[in-house]
Structures are given as C-alpha cells and as structure tokens.
A and B are shown apart, each in its own frame.
Chain A
Amino acid sequence: MRIPYFPGCTLNTTAKGFDNSLRASAQVLGVELAELPEWNCCGATFPLLADNVLDLTGPARVLVAAREAGERLAVACTTCYNVLRRTNLAIRADEDKREKLNFFIEAEYEGDLQVLDVLQVLRDEVGFDRIAQVVKKPLAGLKAAAYYGCMVLRPAAEVAYDDPENPRALDELLTALGAETVDYPHKGECCGAYLAVKSPEATAEMTYTILSSAQKNGAQLMVTNCPLCQFNLDRQQMEMGKRHAGYRPVPVFYFAQLLGVALGLEADDFGWEKHYVDPQPVLARVRS
C-alpha cells in the first residue's frame, strides 16, 4: 500500500528518530509512506479566529499538493495532523473560506482529501492484529503508559478517531507489541505545549501531573505519538527532582520507535541520542 506522507518539520529535526523508525516499520508492514515531493510548514497552529483566513494558506498549500499526490494523506506529527485536518474541513464546509483560500493560493481545491494520522493508518488499514503477528521481539514485561496529548483528540468532532476521554489506539498498539499498558487518568491531559517557552513552571507542573500519575499506576516508560509532548515529557524530567524530591525519571518513546524494535529492526538511526532520559536500560530488557 502506498500512501502520500507528510512528516512535518519536527520529524526532520528533533524528532528525526520518529520519522526513521516510522518509515522503516511501515515498510516492514507493507506500507510505503511516500513523502510529498514538495511541502511547506503546516502553519503549526490552527487559527482560533474564525475570520483569519490568511493563516490557513500554508496548510492549504500542503493540502493542494497532497491532493495532487492522491486521495489520502498520512501525517506523522500530531500538530500537523490537527492543523491539516481542520483546515481541510474548513475548506470543505465553509464556502467563503474555500473561495478566499483558492484565490490566495491560486488553486481550485474542494477539501476532498482524507487527512489521516499515521497511528490511525496503522490501526485501520494495517490492523493491530496483523502487527501482532509479525512481532519478532515482543515488549514482554514492559509496563508502558500511553500518552496521547491533545492534538489527535480535540476538538473531538473535528479530529478525534478515538474516544477523546478514554483513547485506546496507542494502548491497543502497545498491547499488540507485547507490552503491558497501565491505566491512568491523564492520557489526554495537556502537556503544557508551548508554555514550555513562556512559563516553564507551568509545563513543569503539567508534565509532572502526567508522569507521576503514570508512574503511580506502575509505568516504567511513557509512549507517545506527539513530538511536542515527547519533548516536554522527556526534557522536563531533567529538573523534576529539584521540585519533587525523590522523582525518578522514566524514558519517553515514540510509538514508532518501539514498533520498530518489536519488529526486530536495526534501530541505530531511531534517534536514541536525542533522548534526555536514557532509553537504553528499557531497550536492553527487550533485546535480552
């Protein structure tokens, strides 16, 4: 299966390991992620102002390029997924926006693309059952906390392909890979997102809420699908002990990294060196 693919800029930089592990895993699963030949920034935030059409030109351009490549688009970065999907819906449903945008970017796009998150593609088109069948190194004995962030859950009516209050896709994937998933109440809580820049204390507390709750429920590692969440959860732990005595850091993985490992792939370029909390002790347990 070949599907047009939009990695997003983060997957070319800090989340390169996510991109590499995702492409390699997809290949094993018979999915060719065909990167759009030319793409630009998704815009990074869906404009909250209803009449702000100019900010949608960036994502609209991506959608036009994607529509030329096919009928569907698989998006890796969850923020890009959120922005592209909502822009696509706006173009489809709002005639005024559609006309203006097409005028701005000199296109004739109707919004008839299907924007999908890569995890959604794995769940609905590959199937977690099938993935389970080809696992070579099960993640047996690992207690993982799935963390979804908000970008694939909210606003639910526009973006969610899962129960927004009790998402399951990541948990089900991890179970298919042989890991044990832990239940905790903050799977879709905000990680603090860009507050990490403006008010780091807020992000510190928000990530602590998520991480400590997962650990209280037995998690030895966190698994996410969102580059910004991965960064925040991972990076914030470096100083967490200062505010919360006795805090013990846990590694934060992309689901694709663990998928690749479980599929028995060479994982040298999975970006382990970019992690703040050392993932090797956990990985060693899978490999042994």
Chain B
Amino acid sequence: MLDKEPIKRVLVIGAGIAGMQAALDIANSGYEVVLVDRLPSIGGRMAQLSETFPTLDCAQCILTPRTVEVGHHENIQLVTYSEVEDVRGEIGDFQVRIRRYPTYVDWDVCTGCGLCQEKCPKRVVSDFEREMGRRKAIYTLSPQAVPNKPVLDRDNCIYFERGKCRACEKFCPVGAIDFEQEETLIEERVGCIIVATGYDLYPMAELGEYGHGQVPDVIDGLAFERLLSASGPTAGKVRRPSDGKEPKEVVFVQCAGSRDPELGMPYCSKICCMYTAKHAMLYKHRVHGGQAYIFYIDIRSAGKHYEEFVQRAMEEDRVLYLRGKVSKIFREGDKVVVWGVDTLSDRQVEIAADLVVLATAMVPKEGTRELAEMLGLETDEFGFFTEAEGNMQPVETSRPGIFLAGAGIGPKDIPETVAQASGAAAKVLSLFAQWSGVPEEMAVEQLLGESNV
C-alpha cells in the first residue's frame, strides 16, 4: 500500500473553536496545518457569542487571541471562503482538493482598511447577525474578523446585478478589487484529517406551534447572543427586532425541538440549560426592572461550576423558572403570547411577553452528510458524525487517519469541544511521533497494523 514516507501535514475542516484548537496544538508542535472554512473568516459559532458560561467571560475576548494566533501562525495555512471538494488516498497521504470561492478582492493587496465596506451602497440582511442586523454587499463577518479581508457577495452586488456602481473599486486605495476573479482549486497533500464542522440550529420555521419563525419577536438562542453582544446589531443593548423597544418581559423556552421524538430529535442538545440560564442572567443585568421566565423540562447542569451558575440565576438574578412545556406562541398586538404549563403548581400559564427566545435544538451543520459521504465516514440517524467507538475511541473514525472534534459529532459546549479538539490533535501528533521515531519500513507496518492508536 503505502510505499513512501507518510506526510506529516494535517487538514483541518472547520475553523471554529474545535478546528482552531486542533490546528494550534498541531502547529505549535511544529507541523503544518491546512485549515479550511466555508466562511470568510474563522471563529465559527463562538465568534457569534456574547459571553460564555459559567464564567461570563466575554467570548470575543477569549476567542480573539486564538483567532489572531491562528491567523499569524507560520505553520497554519488558512484557507477560508473555501470548501473541501474531494479527498483521495489514505492515511499518510491524502490528496485533497479545495475549492476557493471568488472573493472579488485580492487579499494579497488588500490592507483591510474597511473603506470599501463603508462606501458600498448596498445593504444586505446579515446571516451572522441572525437576520437582525445588516451588512454591506462587500463585507467582513465582524470587526474582529481574521483574516480581516472582505469578500464581495456577488448575489447582492449592484455592479453584478446592473453593471454599474463599482463604488468599492473607486474608493479602494490599493486597487484590490477584482471583479474578474474566479474560483480557484487548491491541491494539498496531508497525512491526517481532522473534521470539525460543528452545528446549526434547528430552524424555527419547523416549529409551527411556536409561530413558524414568522413572529419577529420570537428569536433563537444565537440571535439573542447577537443582541447581547457588544459588537452585535444593537451594540449589546437588549432591543427586540420588531420595534426596537427594550423588552420588559422575556420568556425563554428550553428544549425547543430537542428531546422531541416526534420532530425526529429525541436527543438532548446539552448546552441549552446553561446558555438559557446565562441569557436570562445577562438580560437581567442589562434590563434591571425586567422579568425573565424560563420554561424547562428539567435542568441539566452537570459540569464544573454549572449548577452553582443556575442557582445564581434563580437566587441572585430572580429568574423565574417554570417547569413545563410551552404549547403555543402567537402574536397579539405588540405582545407575544406564550401558553404553557407549570407542572409544579399544576396550572396553565399565559404570559404576554415582549420577546421570546427559543433554545432550538442543535443539529449537524448543513452539508455534514455530504461531507461524510465524500470522506467515507458514517453519520448517525440525526446526521451527526459517528465516532469509531463511543466510549474508548471518541475522536477516531472508521477510516484510519481521519479524526473528529466538536459539535459535528453531537451537541457539546465550549470546554468539552476544546478538550476533544486537543484530543484529536494528540492522536495526530502521536501518529506523527511514531512516523518520525521509527525507521521508514517499520512506520509503514505500524500504520497498517494499528493505525488509530
């Protein structure tokens, strides 16, 4: 099979906190990493968060040193706005083809001054801001973006639409705009692959009883993160989307889709109990006279300092926990009415809220099944990657040389994700150590014998 020396380079797919952690661990050990992400800049979901539980650290503040380190690392080749299209070969020598989408900006020339974004006349609803804010047609995801180079969204660009405008080109001081840019294919060869593609949230449109995603003041947890975030659309002030007013009554609904076999998601999304407690707490810190309600099935706060955090939300911040499900959410005038049950007092509850936050279920990132198929990996019935063995091989896969990390395997929070990513990196590094420390012939035998040790 493998008759040449294995390649001690790694491909990491997904540059969220898992992919970055794995990439840094490997790069800091002296090996090269190709880090690919679909988005223009790195950081993944964590870049959208306001604060993290249970310490209430500013997510951006603990993330930025990492993104900057990744961005500057001599051993990390960052390939953003790109997708892995094809992988051939086997452990020790995978041949990888990456498709890089045209950014219409020459990143080698661009200084990241931001003038093009300022001058671009076209405003577009921002996915990053969970549709609560706007960006320009030429944009970076956030002011802290790494790489801090913009991409031009062709579908929304006035020039591509009507043949006129080119404002970005006119104002760019270094002539970096290139409307002729085309997509490029990048070929890489690596010895191992780490898949860290992460998660999406279950679409609110599928939750008919909660308004089908059609009620403007019913938002999901990531949207609330953006409202709390100092770099978000409201600069960290809690303002509801419909009229920009400060909500005085906020209802948080846990298990919105999770633990619901009828919706095909019998699993627990694991992070919602904690982030909802955090949401309610941060809401109370920003709106002192406000009331926060949380509907829950039960509170799963297993983790270091987690239970204390939930207790704090109840006792210090006076968050009202109601044990029961919400049956219906609908708009009435400028209120969002929530019908639910409090099973502790055995009563039906109706709350005329100003804002409702749904802790929607974590689901695999769009495209996970296709990627799995291309890599020859298995996914479970919900579309998450299947690890080689749940107990003892949690980051390995059925394919030697390909490892997993993060929420693409199943719901998990930041600390667990980071630990798992380091675990995957360690697996790769131990292989590399074997490949380095033994004569060539032996390495090959070892590879074929117990490749995933």
- In residues 162-197 of chain A, which contact B (Cβ within 8 Å)? 163-166, 185-186
Contact call B330/A165, Cβ cutoff below 8 A: no
Complex: A213 Cα to B333 Cα, angstroms: 10
1/0 per residue, CB under 8 A from A, across B186-221: the answer is 000000000000000000000011001000000000
Q: Which residues of B contact A165 (CB under 8 A)?
A: 208-209, 212
Tell yes or no: B259 within 8 A of A by CB. no
Q: Smallest distance from the beta carbon of B360 to chain A beta carbons, Å?
A: 16
Complex: A163 Cα to B212 Cα, angstroms: 11
> On chain B, which size bracket covers the interface?
under 10
Contact call B332/A213, Cβ cutoff below 8 A: yes
Contact call B332/A164, Cβ cutoff below 8 A: no
Q: Smallest distance from the beta carbon of B349 to chain A beta carbons, Å?
A: 15
Q: Which residues of B contact A216 (CB under 8 A)?
A: 332-333
14 further A-B contacts with Cβ under 8 Å, apart from A185-B330, A185-B337, are A163-B208, A164-B208, A165-B208, A165-B209, A165-B212, A166-B208, A166-B212, A185-B328, A185-B331, A185-B332, A186-B330, A213-B332, A216-B332, A216-B333
- In residues 291-336 of chain B, which contact A (Cβ within 8 Å)? 328, 330-333
- In residues 208-242 of chain B, which contact A (Cβ within 8 Å)? 208-209, 212
Q: Which residues of A contact B332 (CB under 8 A)?
A: 185, 213, 216
- In residues 323-366 of chain B, which contact A (Cβ within 8 Å)? 328, 330-333, 337
Q: Which residues of A contact B (CB under 8 A)?
A: 163-166, 185-186, 213, 216
Q: Smallest distance from the beta carbon of A216 to chain B beta carbons, Å?
A: 8
Residue of A with least CB distance to B210: A165
Q: Which residues of B contact A164 (CB under 8 A)?
A: 208
Residue of B with least CB distance to A186: B330
Q: Smallest distance from the beta carbon of A147 to chain B beta carbons, Å?
A: 15
Q: Which residues of A contact B337 (CB under 8 A)?
A: 185
Q: Which residues of A contact B331 (CB under 8 A)?
A: 185
Q: Which residues of B contact A (CB under 8 A)?
A: 208-209, 212, 328, 330-333, 337
Give the interface centre of A164, A166, A186 by most chain B CB atoms within 10 Å. A166
Complex: A165 Cα to B212 Cα, angstroms: 8
Q: Which residues of B contact A185 (CB under 8 A)?
A: 328, 330-332, 337
Residue of A with least CB distance to B329: A185
Residue of A with least CB distance to B212: A166
Complex: A163 Cα to B332 Cα, angstroms: 21
Residue of A with least CB distance to B331: A185
Q: Which residues of B contact A186 (CB under 8 A)?
A: 330
Q: Smallest distance from the beta carbon of A283 to chain B beta carbons, Å?
A: 30
Q: Which residues of A contact B333 (CB under 8 A)?
A: 216
Complex: A43 Cα to B333 Cα, angstroms: 42
Complex: A9 Cα to B208 Cα, angstroms: 33
Q: Which residues of A contact B208 (CB under 8 A)?
A: 163-166
> Which 4 residue pairs of A and B lie closest in terms of their CB atoms, listed nearest first?
A165-B208, A185-B330, A165-B209, A166-B208
Complex: A166 Cα to B332 Cα, angstroms: 16
Complex: A280 Cα to B332 Cα, angstroms: 30
Give the interface centre of A163, A165, A213, A216 by most chain B CB atoms within 10 Å. A165
Complex: A140 Cα to B345 Cα, angstroms: 49
Q: Smallest distance from the beta carbon of B369 to chain A beta carbons, Å?
A: 25
Complex: A165 Cα to B209 Cα, angstroms: 6
Complex: A185 Cα to B332 Cα, angstroms: 8
Question: What are 16 A-B residue pairs whose CB atoms fall within 8 Å in the complex?
Answer: A163-B208, A164-B208, A165-B208, A165-B209, A165-B212, A166-B208, A166-B212, A185-B328, A185-B330, A185-B331, A185-B332, A185-B337, A186-B330, A213-B332, A216-B332, A216-B333
Complex: A84 Cα to B87 Cα, angstroms: 55
Residue of B with least CB distance to A164: B208
Complex: A166 Cα to B81 Cα, angstroms: 38
Complex: A213 Cα to B208 Cα, angstroms: 18
Complex: A234 Cα to B209 Cα, angstroms: 26
Complex: A165 Cα to B215 Cα, angstroms: 14
Q: Which residues of A contact B328 (CB under 8 A)?
A: 185
Q: Smallest distance from the beta carbon of B45 to chain A beta carbons, Å?
A: 28
Q: Smallest distance from the beta carbon of A160 to chain B beta carbons, Å?
A: 11
Q: Which residues of B contact A166 (CB under 8 A)?
A: 208, 212
Residue of B with least CB distance to A184: B330
Q: Smallest distance from the beta carbon of B332 to chain A beta carbons, Å?
A: 7
Residue of A with least CB distance to B337: A185
Residue of B with least CB distance to A156: B262
Q: Which residues of B contact A213 (CB under 8 A)?
A: 332
Complex: A213 Cα to B328 Cα, angstroms: 15
Q: Smallest distance from the beta carbon of A244 to chain B beta carbons, Å?
A: 16
Complex: A165 Cα to B210 Cα, angstroms: 9
Q: Smallest distance from the beta carbon of B391 to chain A beta carbons, Å?
A: 36
Q: Smallest distance from the beta carbon of B347 to chain A beta carbons, Å?
A: 15
Complex: A39 Cα to B333 Cα, angstroms: 48
Complex: A163 Cα to B205 Cα, angstroms: 12
Complex: A236 Cα to B212 Cα, angstroms: 31
